Amino acid sequence: MIAPWRRRHRDLELDEELAGHMRMAIEERVARGERREDAQRAARREFGNLGVVKEVTRDMWGGGWFERLLQDVRYGARTLRRSPAFTIVALSTLALGIGATTAMFTVVHGVLLRPLPYPRSDRLMRIAYDYPKSPFITEGGISDRQWVDTRSRYRTFTRVAAFTPGFVTLANAGDPVRLQEASVAAGLFETLGIAPALGRTFGRDDELVSGEPVVVLGDALWRERFGADANVVGRTITLDGVRHTVLGVMPQGFAYPLDARLWRPLRLELAPNRFQILSVIGRLRDGATRAQALAELDGLAAADRARDSVIARVTPLKDTVVGDVTRSLLVFAGAVGLVLLIACANVANLLLMRATTRRREMAVRAALGAGRPRLVRQLVTESALLWVGAGVAGAAIAVAGVRALLTLAPDGRIPRHGEIGVDAVALGFALTVSLGTGLIFGLIPALRATGSGVRDALAASARTMTGRDGRLRGALVMAEIALALVLLTGAALMMESFIRLRRVELGFRPAGLASLTVDLPDATYPSAAAMQAAHQAVLDRLGRIRGVASASAVNFVPLGGPMIRGDIKVDGRTLPPSYLVAKPSVSPGYFRTMAIRLRLGREFTAQDVASAPHVAIVSESVARQIWPDVNPIGQRISNKDVPGPGDWLTVVGVVDDVGQTSIDVHREPAIYQPIQQLTQAFFLGHMSFVVRGVGDPALLLPAMRRALRDVDPNQPIGSIGTMESAISATVAEPLFQARLIGAFSIVALVLAAIGIYGVVAYSVAERTREIGIRVALGAGRGAVVGMVLRRLLVLLVPGVVLGVVGALATTRVLSSLLFDIRPNDPATFVSVAVLLAAVAIVAGMMPARRASRVDPLVALREG
Amino acid sequence: MAKQGLSRIELLQGTLDLIVLQTLRWGPRHGYGIAQMIRASSRDVLQVDTGSLYPALHRLEKSGAIAAEWETSENRQRVRVYRLTAAGRKQLDAERSRWEQLSQAMAGIFAPPAAETET
């Protein structure tokens, strides 16, 4: 191998050596008596192609690859600079494709692929039982009783720990604020393998109900609210009105479960008729398998005779953390991959067209002694240059794209978002993708450009060199059309689904409504009466705000998050055991405020107080289900399993159904009670105040905040906002999904249109002469346009057919993301195909019209 | 054309190497001289392409079988002259004996067995 800097010298020597060879050959011929010119010609012919001889001889030196690579890169950069339009279009197309793909990969990697940030996190499992027979338990877990019975009996796990998430109010440390917390069993942190940064975590003693209240802080909370005070351990802080001693601070980045800001010990009070479902995680013992763990869980359930029908589940912790975002992330990744493919196909197409016009250059270089491998290498280097340049730009786009994705994604919907970032792995991905696609999509045009017939190209006009290239370009555009159609169909389905979601009848009129939610702590408001007094005080102040038409309260506001559900007993009738109804409690005037239609009877009034007969209002579907044949007014229902004489509620009214928890569940059966008649503080702590304003409800929000502060300055606001923004928040995720995939599909459509335009324009350009002849022979404009469009249809029709088939095969993955529309909805398919065809025809029309204006004289003279 | 066809045979790399080494056995020589000598000693049957000869020379030089240096010719032109090295001599001996075995074997194959020619 020769060092690159010595090569120049060797090159000169080789030139001299070969020149010497030639000179001697000529001299010998002259000496033999030939004329000098004849001798020169003969010697040259005998010698062969000087360039080739040099090339193949140099190959023997070895180590030339580096030199040639440099040469190719320099030459490639020069040719790219020489056609800036091509370079810019190709570079930006690819950079977009690679950037979007890398951004999406970064998110997928951060969320789905990268292990959880705990030591040996693959051994961490979520263990749970499903209770299919119980209508009350929708999410699996382990009941508190069973947890206490079994926590020390697991053999396949080295550690297990239970927890239950919740919210808590922090006061006396800046503004009062409501925080995500978790009550955790001793050992949760040890199970995860995370030690506190300061102080200690909980031991078994901390689980005693009689123990002193203690808390462990998260790093972020410690910094925000306690100034990162290193002496915070041992201080007391006020949570829900109770003073807690700080035991420790967790390290930065730790926020399990959910986005917990602080942790308190799990203190279980097992009481008859009440139970709690806990979440439990465990660390699998070395050598133990998931199947063994599952068998053990089954065994424990059977030994305990805990439930006659439970289904044990052992799930890798990562799956439960990542949850249902997996599917939509994979859909986006697939969509962005399609965009990248279309972008690559477009650039390959550009390269092919360019290669055709560069045939002469290739032919000249081949004639000057460049072998085909050398030419192919040159062209591949050129496109690799393009792709790598695009990869670098794409990485920059990815950084911005990831940031935008995380910002635009609905709050809290991307798990592990703190761990997502464009890192070495993502950059490696970008590089691999750009080099890989560059080689594949650059090699084909390179092989085509240098293929057989290069030598003939010198003789022929560059314009007439089509044939195979034309077919390949056509196939690429056809593929683009098909891929774009798949994406567009997916996007259209998501859009339509979103529109249908927004059109759902809610049963109340959200326009003009604003709501304020608070959670009154038991410590400050120890009785139902105390809470009711506070509620009434807030309501009175709200009612006096200028611009408020009516104010009311409800403990579980529709679409506000949590909802109480339960079964009911009906006097004189039996209901199916799984019949559950929502059970909100409301103040008088609630239905008027919400504009929920009263169908029968009356609303609650100020007279429905605790001492008055207890009453209820049922929603329309409850009335229809229970009393299809009689007037529901005056009937009696109860919340108690075995109602005593004082436990009956008399139905005084029937109202419309309302979508209670989410708008895609449609309307739910509900029974309402007056909040004044509730006796358990448990149902009163969480309360929303709903006001209807005469104008823009957003303007009422500051006065609503003031009303609450007047009543209790230490009470933080759980949430506040207009009802319409709350509804928007519940559909934020489908909207985000629809927008994202819509953006991808628009990019795909534009790229496909560019591809179509390019191919048609090119075919017009190379047929200018033919068109000129036709026009000269009397073909009309229509005929010319028709001729060009036929070329387009040949690509369009199969492309659309392929796309529809592809969409039918792939949109099924969307079904869980769609609302009220089937993934093969014919109307959507047809309209998308029509849209795509229309865009294609418009893109093809431009060059077709240009063709129809061809002046035969000019065309023929130029040809 | 016919002669070119013949010369293609020499493109078998080992054979050309052998011929070049054998030619240099009679003393240092430049590329043109080697080509002429091969041609003459094969009675015009073998015409070595420059496109085969120079790669072979540079390859052999790289492997150390031959060495090259610049000499000034009688009309004061620099010419690159190749000579056989000790390693090249050894290689030549080895390859020649292999070649002789091969050519004997080939001769045996092409000499028709007497029994079969009669049928």
- pLDDT-derived band at B5, boundaries 50, 70, 90: very low
Within 8 A of B20 by CB-CB distance, chain A residues are none
Residue A140 phi/psi, 5-degree rounding, is: -70, 160
**Which candidate in B7, B32, B80 is best for mutational testing of the A interface (most A CBs within 10 A)?**
B32
For residue A43, count CB atoms less than 10 angstroms from its CB and return exposed for 0-12, middle for 13-18, buried for 19 or more: buried
Q: Structure tokens of A662?
A: 């989410």
Structure ipTM over 0.90, yes or no: no
What is the C-alpha separation between A586 and A653, in angstroms, rounded?
13
Q: Structure tokens of A560?
A: 């506000």
What is the C-alpha separation between A670 and A665, in angstroms, rounded?
13
Residue B99 lies in a domain: yes
Residue-wise pLDDT for A395-417, tens only, equals: 888 888 888 888 877 766 677 77
Within 8 A of A49 by CB-CB distance, chain B residues are 51
Q: What is the per-residue pLDDT for A68?
A: 73
Q: How far A21 CA sits from the closest chain B CA (Å)?
A: 5
Residue-wise pLDDT for A585-609, tens only, equals: 999 989 999 999 999 999 999 899 8
Residue B116 lies in a domain: no
In degrees, to the nearest 5, what angle opens at C-alpha A671 toward C-alphas A666 and A675? 120
**Which candidate in B34, B38, B58, B66 is best for mutational testing of the A interface (most A CBs within 10 A)?**
B58
Q: Structure tokens of A250?
A: 């967790």
What is the C-alpha separation between A378 and A633, in angstroms, rounded?
88
Residue ranges making up the domain that contains B23: 2-110
Whether residue B50 and residue A61 make contact (CB cut-off 8 A), yes or no, is: no
Side chain identity at residue A290, one-letter code: R
Closest of A436, A469, A463, A434 to residue A450, by C-alpha: A469
Closest of B24, B28, B58 to residue B38, by C-alpha: B24
What is the C-alpha separation between B12 and A541, in angstroms, rounded?
104
For residue A41, count CB atoms less than 10 angstroms from its CB and return exposed for 0-12, middle for 13-18, buried for 19 or more: middle
Chain B positions with Cβ closer than 8 Å to A: 30-33, 35-36, 49-51, 54-55, 57-59, 62, 77-80
Q: How far A8 CA sits from the closest chain B CA (Å)?
A: 16
Within 8 A of A59 by CB-CB distance, chain B residues are 55
In degrees, to the nearest 5, what angle opens at C-alpha A106 toward C-alphas A102 and A107? 125
CB A378 within 8 A of CB A76: yes
Within 8 A of B33 by CB-CB distance, chain A residues are 24
CATH number at residue B19: 1.10.10.10
Residue B68 lies in a domain: yes
pLDDT beneath 70, residues of chain A: 1-5, 63-64, 132-139, 273, 303-308, 369-370, 411-413, 451-469, 664-666, 859-863
CB A517 within 8 A of CB A584: no
Whether residue A20 and residue B54 make contact (CB cut-off 8 A), yes or no, is: no
A696 in B contact zone (CB under 8 Å) = no
Whether residue A20 and residue B62 make contact (CB cut-off 8 A), yes or no, is: no
Q: How far B78 CA sits from the closest chain A CA (Å)?
A: 8
DSSP A207: G
Residue B84 lies in a domain: yes
What is the C-alpha separation between A774 and A631, in angstroms, rounded?
84
A20 in B contact zone (CB under 8 Å) = yes
Q: What is the per-residue pLDDT for B40?
A: 85
Residue B53 lies in a domain: yes
In percent, the amount of chain B with pLDDT more than 70 equals 82
How many domains does chain B divide into? Answer: 1
Residue B38 lies in a domain: yes
The residue of chain B nearest to residue A13, with distances taken between CA atoms, is B80
Residue B61 lies in a domain: yes
Torsion-angle region of residue A321: left (phi > 0), alpha (psi -120 to 50) or beta?
A: alpha
One-letter-per-residue 3-state SS of A146-211: HHHHHCCCCCCEEEEEEEEEEEEEEECCCCCEEEEEEEECCCHHHHHCCCCCEECCCCHHHHCCCC
How many of the other CB atoms lie within 10 Å of CB of A437? 25
Q: How far A20 CA sits from the closest chain B CA (Å)?
A: 6
Within 8 A of B59 by CB-CB distance, chain A residues are 60
Q: How far A378 CA sits from the closest chain B CA (Å)?
A: 22
Residue B115 lies in a domain: no
- pLDDT-derived band at B46, boundaries 50, 70, 90: confident
Q: What is the per-residue pLDDT for A463?
A: 46
Q: What is the per-residue pLDDT for B2?
A: 36
Nearest to A20 among B49, B55, B79 (CB): B79
Side chain identity at residue A468, one-letter code: R
Whether residue B77 and residue A48 make contact (CB cut-off 8 A), yes or no, is: no
